[in-house]
Amino acid sequence: MIDVENYNKVFGNYLQQDQSDLVTGAIYLGNNYKKANDYYGGYQGNYLKRIKALFPDKKSILHLYAGQIDDTEFKGDKVDINPLAEDIKYADARELSKYVDKKYDLIIADPPYGQDRLEEYRKRYGCDAETLNVKKVFREMYQVTTPNAHVVWLDWARPFYRGIEWKERGAILYRGSTGHKDRVVNIYSRTEET
C-alpha cells in the first residue's frame, strides 16, 4: 500500500491519490539538491525519508543501482554493477535474479538516466554495463519480489515494463533548483501474471 496520508502528515499536503489510486503530485527540492557524492544512487536531500513515508510498512528493501548510497534513513540490501563501498554487493540489474537470493517487498532504483549517462559512468568508474535494457531489468525485478511488492523508479523517462507484471501506481514530479533537470518518481506495484 502507498501511504499518501502518512506522507502528507510528515511532509505537507503535496501528494494526492485519485479514484483509480494513482498517486500524483510534486516534490520540490529547491536548494536541497546536495548529495554526498556524484554517483547515481546517492539520492538528493531527504529522498529516502520521503520514500519511507510513502511505504512505512515495507520490511524487505532492495536499493538497486545503489552506487554509494547512505541508507541510514531507509535500511535495505544494496546492489550495484560497480560497488564502491563495502556494504554494496555486486549485481548486474539486467540479471538480478542470478545475484539476489531472497524476495523483496520494495525496490528503490535510481538508474543512470539514458545511454549517454551510462557511457559517462562507464568512462568515469570503469562500469562494465554497455546497455541499460530497462525492460529486462523490470522482468528481473519481478523475479525477486513478493506478490505485494512495489518499485520506486527515479528517472527522466517513463520506463518500459510489461503490463501483466507491473501496474503503474504513481508519477510524482521530482524537481530541484533552477538549472537542474526534472525527474519523475515512478511507482509500480507487482501483479500476478495470467
Please state, for a pLDDT cut of 70, what percent of the chain lies above it: 82
Is residue 29's pLDDT more than 90?
Answer: no
CATH of span 4-190: 3.40.50.150
Instruction: Identify the residue with better confidence: 165 or 42.
Output: 165
Contact between 93 and 64 under an 8 Å Cβ cutoff? The reply is yes
Burial level of 11, CB count in 10 A (0-12/13-18/19+)?
middle
Contact between 161 and 124 under an 8 Å Cβ cutoff? The reply is no
| CA 4/CA 23 separation, integer angstroms | 8
Contact between 171 and 186 under an 8 Å Cβ cutoff? The reply is yes
Q: How confident is the model at residue 194 (pLDDT cuts 50, 70, 90)?
A: very low
C-alpha dihedral sign at 4, 160, 106, 149: positive
CA distance from start to end of the chain: 22
Q: How confident is the model at residue 157 (pLDDT cuts 50, 70, 90)?
A: confident
Residue 37: the pLDDT is 60
Per-residue pLDDT averaged across 65-76, rounded? 87
Residue 156: the pLDDT is 85
3-state secondary structure of 123: helix
Domain ranges of the chain: 4-190
Per-residue pLDDT averaged across 28-57, rounded? 75
- Which residue matches cell numbers 507491473? 166
β-pair type (183-190, 166-176): antiparallel
Is residue 41's pLDDT more than 60?
Answer: no
Which among 167, 150, 156, 121 is positioned nearest to 22, based on CA atoms?
A: 167
